[in-house]
Structure 1
Amino acid sequence: MSDTRPTREPGRRRLVLWRHGQTAWNVERRFQGKTDIPLDDTGVQQARRAARLLAGLRPTAL
């Protein structure tokens, strides 16, 4: 299969913003601040899906 995506114009960049996966505190509407709350089951599924989707973008930098 060949890549049929159009090439970007020289000097153009694409910025992709992606939110973190869900945590129990998100569901409770609690502010997390700098607290590192683990992803819940839904958040883990979201992170796995995000990894597949982001890989498809073929980034040159993260």
Structure 2
Amino acid sequence: MRWNKKWMALTIASALAAGSLAGCGGKGETNESGEEITELTWYQVGDSQNDDQTVLDKVN
């Protein structure tokens, strides 16, 4: 019984380690000057506000 718990713990730890390293590496998309482009996703709860476009213009 004790061997099964150790095996399961090792398997779970290996899966977590592999999953955490899966996002590392690989260069993203770059622009003309070689700088990496970052794309942000914005979620807004509720209805849009009156000045949404003004805010987005300043952010961009």
Name the TM-score, length of structure 2 as normaliser: 0.28
More contact order relative to length (CA 8 Å, sep ≥ 6): 1
CA radius of gyration, larger in: 2
Name the TM-score, length of structure 1 as normaliser: 0.27
